[in-house]
Amino acid sequence: MNTSVVGKSAVSQFLSLAKPRVVSLIVFCAVIGMFLATPGVPSLQVLVFGTLGIALTAGSAAAVNCLLERHIDAQMARTRGRPLPSGVISSRQTVTFAFLVGGSGLVLLHYFVNPLTMWLTFGTFVGYAFIYTLWLKPATPQNIVIGGASGAMPPVLGWSAVTGTVPAEAWLLFLIIFMWTPPHFWSLALYRTKDYERAGLPMLPVTHGSLYTRRSIVAYTLALIVVTVMPYVIGMNGLPYLVCALGLGGVFLYRAVKLLTHYSDAWARSTFKFSILYLAALFAALLVDHYLV
């Protein structure tokens, strides 16, 4: 996506700092974590303030990432139109925005949800905004595998918002997003390799080449399918979920294998887009099945 900011209103420029589309899926997964945590329905207070708190903190993390990566973003075609590299929003404004938005999110979580959720969300914020962005991303091609742990936290945050605990079921949902992240990101990195090379970032296709990356995508997609069967195996979800998980997984695997055997940028791009649809549909299936069985 070309995130050009020219002609946008001030509000939408600040909004774009918070990566609203990525954050929407993050919040979607967190909310489903809330519903899965209880046989009934979460309280309205947890639903409203939990969702708001997680969304604001995630948006703030994205803004900090935009701030810390403004020079790298300026070198990549996909990101050079963002508000900071294009000079529409200043670093100081971004710091203020991130502080106010993230601070409000954490305060809401602490006072209207529970301190555990606030601390877990704060840890996730630090994990993405600082550990991934500053340290892992420029250091190793495993950056997004390790850093994916932050992106995988939303259902855990949702679960802890409702119960104040994080049992094995919540970590299983974490594991699903964790295994999904490499095929999600590496599909994009395959057709954006030149961008990452130019910016000097050691993404897997840059350091290990296209073939190795495509094999890794197949491997992680297989692992993802195994992990998505687990909610059925442990009795957390029923047969309707299993059918959806295997159907979606089958399509993902077909895409991954075709990416390996018949590579094209267009196929990589459409597989990246599919990965987003996949995660949304899988979590929707977890939710619907939860109330069916």
Ligand X SMILES: CC(C)=CCC/C(C)=C/CC/C(C)=C/COP(=O)(O)OP(=O)(O)O
- Binding region for ligand X (CB under 6 A): 19, 22, 26, 54, 57-58, 61-62, 65, 69, 79, 121, 124-125, 128, 137, 150-151, 153-154
219: burial class by Cβ within 10 Å (0-12, 13-18, 19+)?
A: middle
Minimum CB distance to ligand HEM, residue 133 (Å): 10
Binding partner at 110 among ligand X, ligand HEM, none, C-beta below 5 to 8 Å by kind:
none
The answer to whether 56 and 108 have CB atoms below 8 angstroms apart is yes
Residues 6+ apart with CB under 8 A from 87: none
Is 188 one of the binding residues for ligand HEM (CB under 6 A)?
A: yes
Q: Is the dihedral of CA 172, 175, 179, 181 positive or negative?
A: positive
List binders of ligand HEM among 16-35 (CB under 6 A). 21-22, 25-26, 29
Binding partner at 109 among ligand HEM, ligand X, none, C-beta below 5 to 8 Å by kind:
none
Is 81 one of the binding residues for ligand HEM (CB under 6 A)?
A: no
Residue 40 host element (H or E): none
Task: Give the range of 52-60, 181-189, 218-226, 260-268 binding ligand HEM by CB under 6 A.
Answer: 181-189
Cβ distance to ligand HEM smaller for residue 67 or 144: 144
Measure the CA–CA gap between 122 and 109, rounded to whole angstroms: 10
Measure the CA–CA gap between 41 and 31, rounded to whole angstroms: 11
Task: Give the range of 117-125, 183-191, 259-267, 284-292 binding ligand HEM by CB under 6 A.
Answer: 183-191
Give the contact letters, 98-137, x = binds to ligand HEM (CB under 6 A), - = no: ----------------------------------------
The answer to whether 28 and 283 have CB atoms below 8 angstroms apart is yes
The answer to whether 108 and 49 have CB atoms below 8 angstroms apart is yes
Give me the half-sphere count of Cα atoms (radius 13 Å) on the Cβ side of residue 9. Answer: 3
Cβ distance to ligand HEM smaller for residue 94 or 110: 94
Minimum CB distance to ligand X, residue 78 (Å): 7
Q: Out of 83, 102, 148, 205, name the contact with ligand HEM by CB under 6 A.
A: 148
Q: Tokens in use for 3?
A: 């995130």
Is 185 one of the binding residues for ligand HEM (CB under 6 A)?
A: yes
Measure the CA–CA gap between 267 and 61, rounded to whole angstroms: 30
Q: Tokens in use for 291?
A: 């109330």
Measure the CA–CA gap between 204 and 191, rounded to whole angstroms: 12
Minimum CB distance to ligand HEM, residue 24 (Å): 7
Task: Give contact residues for ligand HEM (rule: CB under 6 A).
Answer: 1, 3, 21-22, 25-26, 29, 78, 144, 147-148, 151, 177, 181, 184-185, 188, 276, 279
